[in-house]
Structure 1
Amino acid sequence: MGTVGTLRSAGVRAGDEVVVPAYGNAEVARAVVELEAVPVFADVDADSYCLDPAAVADAVTGRSAAVVAVHRFGRPAEMAWIREIGQRYGLLVLVEDEPGARPDAAESRREHARYLDGRLSGVRTPVPASGHRYEQYVVRVPGNGRPDRDAFARALRAKGVGCKVPVQTPVYRMPGLRRDVFLPETERAVDETLALPLDEGMTRREVQRMAGACNALGGLLQPAF
């Protein structure tokens, strides 16, 4: 049915507010706009990159009709807490997976992730969680903002590691969705996150080479001027 159909069938109408994640896919917010409802952006949890339940509660108003949570990078959102908030305020709670999710390959990715968790230095590795499928292995390159992460990424690519920035900008800065808000965890996640390749077809040797390339950089790089 899709997000639009689900929201419409649940009674979301023009003018209703729908709480959505500020970090990640814009499709959810655009589906809300298609219904002529109002997307209200909530901040994310620093460990999971999914909706922060406390931020959801803060975003609820008398016009709120629903909240849409998205499992991010294969890690489940805190649905028990979000559903409790939904029950408290009488909201529809909808949960979605990211496009392209492949749960069938999860065990291979978990094995690679466990190895990287124990070997990587100079970056912050993903926080383990029950049910994490590691659709993407997302590390943080903390520092003073985007130049550190981007310099690190360029150096890794030069070593043959096909890393990528998973989310380029907060959803509330995208065309047609712009809002005058600043959500600190979303901003930090956009500036610091980097997805390392974790394909189920990778061999242990390939994963070892990637870890060695990361560790050889010594963590943060100074931005180039």
Structure 2
Amino acid sequence: MGTRTADLLAAAGVGIGDEVIVPSYGTTDVVEAVRAVGAAPVFADIDAWSYCLAPASVAEAIGERTAAIVPLDVFGHPADVTALQALAGARPLPVIPHVGQRPADSAEALQRRRHHAAYLDGRLTGVLTPRTAPGVEHRYHSYVVRVPGNGRPDRDAFARALRARGVRCSVPVTTPMHRTPAYARDVRDLSLPETERAAEQCLALPVDAGMTRRELRHVVAACNALGGLLPYDVAA
């Protein structure tokens, strides 16, 4: 996994002794690609709404040994590669988007997912719906909402209640990479507040291209029946 990204890192001259800035929120593929070339991953925080690497956090993580930045498109929202490239400054610092294993979308499937996402956006009231940065085309590989309240306990209770009502849902990222046993001891003082908040609050709802309008209405009814939006500020 992550072989193509590892090949691109190696081609850019990244290797033993180097550091590569990566997201902690996402798949293990990115970290595996960095380790495959002998480099060390350095975790940066994510944007509160795109869930992709936050350029401001990446800027703080850049050090003398930084050799590359590997962003990840998350849930179908593309990373802000242009903003990350602007961080390089005077010395070359390649930005190498992670190449995942997801098959290419057909135009019809992509259009239907976006149509379904727009339907949910306009009708869900019990959760915080996704936001897309201006000018960005979201591919909605997953339709990820936030469950406001007291973090993981409320999100998990909400998920159980939805499943009891027949709605398929899942927690997209249960544990950020910097909190896994492989890294937690080495980065115990690392603060990635948006990453940890997302891991505690996010829930993926079904938005498959093949869903019917009746199925979408059922998702909306089940979510909205669990209560209205609580006072909440995602950036607090």
2:132 counterpart of 1:128: yes
Equivalent residue for 2:179? 173
Equivalent residue for 1:145? 151
| Cα distance between partner residues in 2 of 1:148 and 1:205 | 27
Equivalent residue for 1:119? 123
Q: For 1:12-161, what aligned pairs fall within 5 Å after superposition? A: 12-96=14-98, 98-100=100-102, 102-104=104-106, 105-129=109-133, 130-161=136-167
Q: 1:165 to 1:219 in 2, by over 3 A?
A: farther
State the 1:145 CA deviation: 1.6
| Cα distance between partner residues in 2 of 1:90 and 1:189 | 32
- Give SS of 2:41's match: strand
| Equivalent residue letter for 2:120 | L
Residues 35 and 41 of structure 2 are in contact (CA less than 8 Å); yes or no, is this contact kept in structure 1? yes
| Cα distance between partner residues in 2 of 1:107 and 1:57 | 35
- Give SS of 1:155's match: helix
| Cα distance between partner residues in 1 of 2:138 and 2:75 | 8
Equivalent residue for 2:205? 196
- Deviation by residue 1:34-80 (Cα, 9 ceiling, x = unmatched): 22211000000001000001111110001100000111000111111
- Deviation by residue 1:116-153 (Cα, 9 ceiling, x = unmatched): 00100021000034210111000000222200000000
| Equivalent residue letter for 2:211 | M
| Cα distance between partner residues in 1 of 2:223 and 2:72 | 29
State the 1:182 CA deviation: 2.5
| Cα distance between partner residues in 2 of 1:56 and 1:46 | 14
State the 1:102 CA deviation: 4.4
Q: 1:98 to 1:152 in 2, by over 3 A?
A: farther
| Cα distance between partner residues in 2 of 1:173 and 1:135 | 25
| Equivalent residue letter for 1:174 | T
Q: 1:209 aligns with which of 193, 209, 218?
A: 218
| Equivalent residue letter for 1:209 | H
List alignment gaps of at least 5 residues for structure 2: 231-236
Residues 30 and 98 of structure 2 are in contact (CA less than 8 Å); yes or no, is this contact kept in structure 1? no
- Give SS of 2:145's match: strand
Residues 5 and 99 of structure 2 are in contact (CA less than 8 Å); yes or no, is this contact kept in structure 1? no
State the 1:107 CA deviation: 0.7
Residues 152 and 220 of structure 1 are in contact (CA less than 8 Å); yes or no, is this contact kept in structure 2? no
- Aligned-pair identity in percent equals 55
State the 1:215 CA deviation: 0.3
Q: 1:216 to 1:2 in 2, by over 3 A?
A: same
| Cα distance between partner residues in 1 of 2:194 and 2:91 | 24
| Cα distance between partner residues in 2 of 1:100 and 1:195 | 17
- Give SS of 1:70's match: coil
> How many pairs align?
221
